[in-house]
Structure formats: C-alpha cells, structure tokens
Structure 1
Amino acid sequence: MTEDVVELDRVVKRFGSITALDTVTLGFARGTFTAVMGPSGSGKSTLLQAAAGLERPTAGAVRVAGTDLGSLSETRLTLLRREKIGFVFQAFNLLSSLSAEQNVALPLRLAGRRPARREVRAVLAAVGLADRARHRPAELSGGQQQRVAIARAIITRPDVLFADEPTGALDSRTGREVLALLRSMVERQGQTIVMVTHDPFAAAHADRVVFLADGRVAGEMAAPTPQAVAERMTGLEAAEVPR
C-alpha cells in the first residue's frame, strides 16, 4: 500500500463563527496528483493552507511525512515547511529584482545553504527554462514565470508540492503546458502534488479529484475527465445551501 505523505485527521478550522473545514479526513499518497475542487467558499484554499502548515487547525491533526504539525513550535514548523513542502501560487510571487536563477535559489539561501549554480540550473532545465536563468520576471511570459515558481518550489526536493490555482493567471495554451509539466513531475519523479483548481480541464490532469462543499468532503473521483468533473461540480453548486 502506498504511504500517505499528507494526512488530515478530523480537521476542523474555524474563523470566528465561520467553520471553513468541518471534520475533514483525507490522505494524499506518495507519487500521486490530487485536485481539490468545490464551489466558492467550500474550504478549498483553507484545506491547502492547513495541509501545508500555513494555518493551524482548530481541532484535529495534520501530518506531513509522518510528522504531526500540531506538535511543532513555529520555528520547527517553518523549518519543516522549508524542507518538506513546496508551494506554488496563482500570482507567481517572484521577486522582481532577482533573476530566474536567483529566485529559484532563494529557498536554499533562506535555509542557510549556499546553492550550487549547477543545482539551480538543473532545476530550471527540468521546467524547460535552461536558457532563461539570467532573465528577470519582467522579461518572462506568464507561463515562464510560473515555471520559475515551480522550480523554486521543488529546489528543496519537497515531499509534497501544493499548488493553489497554478494556471488561474495563464491563458489556456500556457496553462496546458504548466499542467503537462506538473503531470510529468508525478510520472517521472514520483512527486506528490495537491492542487486547488476551479477548472475541470485542469482537474482532469490529476489521478483523482476530491470535492468539497460547505467545508466537508463531498466525494471523490478517480481517473477524472473534464466532462465528468464539470457535471459533478454543477451538481454541487446546485445543491449548495447558503450558510
């Protein structure tokens, strides 16, 4: 049986009187690609942030690579995130004053390591940007910037890569290229990826889709197709009851 790299055990997350996650239990197996979908306000981003240790749950437990995040101090949690977790955002979040290779090397520098240029160049080559190492973000297309962001997220060889709407700011062709890159990382390198998306086409690149509604798991789908995902989402949105 494939081990779960990330485990959520009866996780509850409240923000004041709002329950964003309601007793969520999920596992994400090593070397798999999972998409998380749901109507607006269903808890998708909160799930990602709790699983990545960016939000501490109100109740329940989150484990990454066997470590209970709730048992860690803020300092140790920060160190674990640097070593075991990669995160890719919709908005890229690159530093405009740094070149592509400097942006990619940043997590290693923050961890007190002196990055080897060949190591950084190898990761850039892996995302198809071997010839863009010295370019700054303003000199790159949106798709290239997202590839730099992905390279930055995987330079530490994390156990899991979280992606929050990674194609949301890209045109459809560039989005397909980024999704194909993520898919290849799973198949060729055994990377574990958990991606929040609203796009059925993007979700169809995953091995499975987890659906959320009102902060709860509302079902799963293996071997998803865009049409099947869209139909499930239509049903969830039609059944959604305002809180």
Structure 2
Amino acid sequence: MEPLLDLRGVRRRHGRGAGAVTALDSLTLGFRAGTFTAVMGPSGSGKSTLLQCAAGLDKPDAGTVTLDGAELTTLSETELTLLRRDRIGFVFQSFNLLPSLTAEQNVALPLRLAGRRPARGQVRDMLAAVGLAERGGHRPAQLSGGQQQRVAIARALVTRPTVLFADEPTGALDSTTGRGVLDLMRDMVDRHGQTIVMVTHDPVAAARADRVVFLVDGRVADDRGAMTPQTVADLMTGLESGLSTGPAASAVVLPC
C-alpha cells in the first residue's frame, strides 16, 4: 500500500556558510493512512524540521513531500495555505486557544476562518468525541490543562484533516492527564482511522504509537513497530550516548 504521506530525499539546511546546519539529510520516509507514528531523537536531530516540511510549513532545499497525491514542494503559498487549512491538523504543546472564546467557539474557528458555517451539531459532536460534551460554553481559563488540550485536538480534527501533526502534545501536562490525551489520540486512530504523526521526547507517549522512528543528525537511525516504554527509553539512551542502534539509513522501507 502506498504511503499517504511520503518524503523522498528531503534535505533541509538552516543558515549559510560555515555556520550552516543540516537539519534533514536526504531523508526518505513514508507514513501509511490510519497509523500512529511517533518521531523521536536527541536534541537537534531534525524532528521539528521533519514535522514542518511534512506539513508544508517549511520547504525543503531538495527532495519531494507528497500528501495524498499532492506534491507540496510544487505548490504556491496560496495553494499550501488552502491545503493546510483543509487537509492538515496541528496540535502543539501550548494549546493556543483564544482565551476570550468558549470551547465551542475555539473548535469552530478553523471552519469560520475558511468561510464555512459549521453544520448543525458538528462542533458539539466533535467536543463530545473528545469527552467534553458538557464543556462547550466554558472558556479556556475555566478548563484544566488536559481539557484545554482536548479542545485543541477537537479544533484540529473538526475539518477532518488527512493527517494530524502533534508536536509534544503532552509536554505541558502531568502524567495522568497526558495519558488521557494519548488515549484519545489512540482512539482516533483505532476507531476513526485518523493518521497521526507525533514528535515526542517521552517514551511513554511513543509507546502508544504503532511505529517509532528515531532520527539522528537528520537521518533515520532506527525504525520500529510498537514497543514498550522501557525499550523506547533504552534505544534513546543508546542514541544520546552515541551508541548505534542499527545502520543509519536515508531510505526506509515501511514496516508491514
């Protein structure tokens, strides 16, 4: 099966001259529909740049990024804006909710910014899907951190995106609350076929994914199926101490 999201030979450098840094080094990586992938690696390994290039927020210096048949690297800024609006969802460590709006209004915001009137019950149904059916009239300050992140997830999913990108989505939450958010994301994949790509430093979060990709120096150092938190932690310890977990590769075959 062809990957839904496909990066081929992607190279991205930041800066110029002697101070330039290669964030992604001819990276080839694919993500299948309906899967949950965690991306890990030491600081500076290219995780955030991978997410930005895959989501069309940053253009690579070389290579191609294709999302569901659309090659992002050939699109204009206007076309990229429309694609991100309609087919890509984002969840960040900071919830980025507008404090003056209720939960319902925050969730409806992407639709209204796109000039679309939410269908009757659409926003309430999405809040119900993330367990906040009774919190629609509450503003962010009246919600816990976990509830605010659930609102952010509902907002990201209300447009029914092809891919949901999550950048440290549990980083600002305590372990119990973070576990609830991970349960929700896992459920979105298992029950609704959502495709999720999540950058995380947390082995417990990564262990909830179907697949864990480890980056080092902008290249794939390891690519495995579901693992226990301890196995993830051991692999990260090896990477951070300079030990090889396997041959680094610029081309990776998707696991079956």
Matched AA of 1:8: L
For residues 164 and 213 of structure 1, what CA distance do their matches in structure 2 show? 18
Matched, 1:224 2:227: yes
Report the counterpart of residue 13 of structure 2 in structure 1: 14
Report the counterpart of residue 116 of structure 2 in structure 1: 113
Matched AA of 1:21: L
For residues 29 and 176 of structure 2, what CA distance do their matches in structure 1 show? 32
Report the counterpart of residue 40 of structure 1 in structure 2: 43
For residues 45 and 157 of structure 1, what CA distance do their matches in structure 2 show? 23
For residues 120 and 12 of structure 2, what CA distance do their matches in structure 1 show? 41
For residues 110 and 164 of structure 2, what CA distance do their matches in structure 1 show? 14
Q: For each residue in 1:38-70, what CA deviation from the matched residue of structure 2 results, as whole angstroms up to 9, or x when unmatched?
A: 001111011011100111111111111110001
CA drift of 1:117 comes to 4.4
For residues 4 and 109 of structure 1, what CA distance do their matches in structure 2 show? 31
CA drift of 1:184 comes to 0.4
Structure 1 stretches lacking a partner, 5+ long: none
CA drift of 1:145 comes to 0.3
Moved more, 110-119 or 156-165: 110-119
Matched AA of 1:235: G
Moved more, 113-122 or 191-200: 113-122
Matched, 1:192 2:195: yes
Report the counterpart of residue 157 of structure 1 in structure 2: 160
Any idea what SS the aligned residue of 2:121 has?
Answer: helix
Tell me how large the CA RMSD over aligned residues is.
1.1
Any idea what SS the aligned residue of 1:4 has?
Answer: coil
Any idea what SS the aligned residue of 2:241 has?
Answer: helix
Instruction: Tell me which of 141, 144, 153 is aligned to 2:144.
Output: 141
Normalising by structure 2, we get a TM-score of 0.92
Report the counterpart of residue 4 of structure 1 in structure 2: 3
Moved over 4 A (4+): none
Structure 2 stretches lacking a partner, 5+ long: 244-256
Matched AA of 1:82: R
Report the counterpart of residue 72 of structure 1 in structure 2: 75
Q: For each residue in 1:79-118, what CA deviation from the matched residue of structure 2 results, as whole angstroms up to 9, or x when unmatched?
A: 0001110000000111111110111001111111011340
Instruction: Tell me which of 179, 203, 207 is aligned to 1:176.
Output: 179
For residues 143 and 87 of structure 1, what CA distance do their matches in structure 2 show? 16
Normalising by structure 1, we get a TM-score of 0.97
CA drift of 1:71 comes to 1.2
CA drift of 1:75 comes to 0.5
For residues 28 and 19 of structure 1, what CA distance do their matches in structure 2 show? 23
Instruction: Tell me which of 94, 97, 107 is aligned to 1:94.
Output: 97
Any idea what SS the aligned residue of 2:22 has?
Answer: strand
For residues 46 and 88 of structure 1, what CA distance do their matches in structure 2 show? 16
Report the counterpart of residue 254 of structure 2 in structure 1: none
Instruction: Tell me which of 24, 27, 32 is aligned to 1:29.
Output: 32
Report the counterpart of residue 202 of structure 1 in structure 2: 205
Matched AA of 1:147: R
* Residue correspondences, number: 240
Matched, 1:52 2:55: yes
For residues 211 and 70 of structure 1, what CA distance do their matches in structure 2 show? 24
